[in-house]
Amino acid sequence: MDRHMQLENSGVQMLAYAKEQHERQLLSEFSLFLHKYMQSKTYILDEHLLDAYQNILEALKQWARIVIIEEGQIPQDAVWNQVRSINTGVYKLYEELTTSKETLKQRIQLVLLACEFSVMSKMASCCKPLIDVLGSRSEPWSIEELMERCEIQGLGINLSQLLHKLVKKTLVKEVAVPADDECSELLMRYTLHP
């Protein structure tokens, strides 16, 4: 018997904690994905094909980890075996990137294009902890204030890169705020897009 509802309350708290950890893990993985994806785009523009290939391969692995986490599983060391049964599309992109007869540049461009359309559509759900913090007050947040929040602390995310991409996708609004009364300097702050 659970007369004081202690067991039921404990179960509810555990589920809330598990959901929060799940969301934090997605944010962390998405940040890693975004970093590698952006690096690959930079390298391919500069014709550094091997560096672009290495970074897009790592971005694709992060994408696979995101898919696995979204499925409610924990990513294993053998990510490609695990993702093969969960999302054949991501696995086929991995095969295409690593074994196709196309030129290296064409293979990289194919995966970059797939990343742009597929993973970027998951940005809002993957960045939920950050978006929730941004929406928790009416005044805009500085990067320093965001980094101090427990929802974001310790994740090792590239916050400025994430915010830049969220602004570009119009999920977040960038606001210039005067640093002092004389308006001699402006600081960039972030809030949810209305």
pLDDT, tens digit (0-9, with 9 covering 90-100), for 163-179? 999 999 989 999 988 87
Output the 3-class SS for 49-109: HHHHHHHHHHHHHHHHHHHHHHCCCCCCCCHHHHHHHHCHHHHHHHHHHHHCCCCHHHHHH
Do 111 and 179 have their domain in common? Answer: no
Out of 105, 124, 143, pick the residue that ends a domain: 124
Structural contact between residues 133 and 178, judged by C-beta atoms closer than 8 angstroms: no
State yes or no: pLDDT of 5 exceeds 90. Answer: no
Closest by Cα among 26, 52, 71 to 162: 26
Do 163 and 181 have their domain in common? Answer: yes
Find tokens 């993702």 and name the residue.
Answer: 83
Is residue 6 classed as helix, strand or coil in its secondary structure?
helix
Which one of 45-49, 75-79, 144-148 scores highest in mean pLDDT? 45-49
Do 92 and 131 have their domain in common? Answer: no
How confident is residue 8, by pLDDT bands cut at 50, 70 and 90? low
Q: What is the mean predicted confidence (pLDDT) over 147-154? A: 84
Sort residue 115 into left (φ over 0), alpha (ψ -120 to 50) or beta: alpha
Range of the domain at 168: 127-194
Q: What is the pLDDT of residue 60?
A: 96
Q: What percent of the chain has pLDDT over 90?
A: 65
Provide the β-strand partners of residue 82.
none
Do 97 and 60 have their domain in common? Answer: yes
Is residue 163 classed as helix, strand or coil in its secondary structure?
helix
Do 16 and 78 have their domain in common? Answer: yes
Find tokens 């929802």 and name the residue.
Answer: 151
How confident is residue 56, by pLDDT bands cut at 50, 70 and 90? very high
How crowded is residue 3: how many other Cβ atoms within 10 Å of its Cβ?
Answer: 5
Q: What is the mean predicted confidence (pLDDT) over 125-148? A: 92
Do 92 and 37 have their domain in common? Answer: yes
Out of 85, 107, 124, pick the residue that ends a domain: 124
How confident is residue 193, by pLDDT bands cut at 50, 70 and 90? confident
Number of domains in the chain: 2
Q: What is the pLDDT of residue 57?
A: 97
State yes or no: pLDDT of 18 exceeds 80. Answer: no
Out of 80, 101, 124, pick the residue that ends a domain: 124
State yes or no: pLDDT of 112 exceeds 80. Answer: yes
State yes or no: pLDDT of 10 exceeds 90. Answer: no
- The domain that holds 150 is classified in CATH as 1.10.10
Q: What is the mean predicted confidence (pLDDT) over 154-171? A: 89
Is residue 149 classed as helix, strand or coil in its secondary structure?
coil
Do 102 and 25 have their domain in common? Answer: yes
Do 193 and 133 have their domain in common? Answer: yes
How confident is residue 14, by pLDDT bands cut at 50, 70 and 90? very low
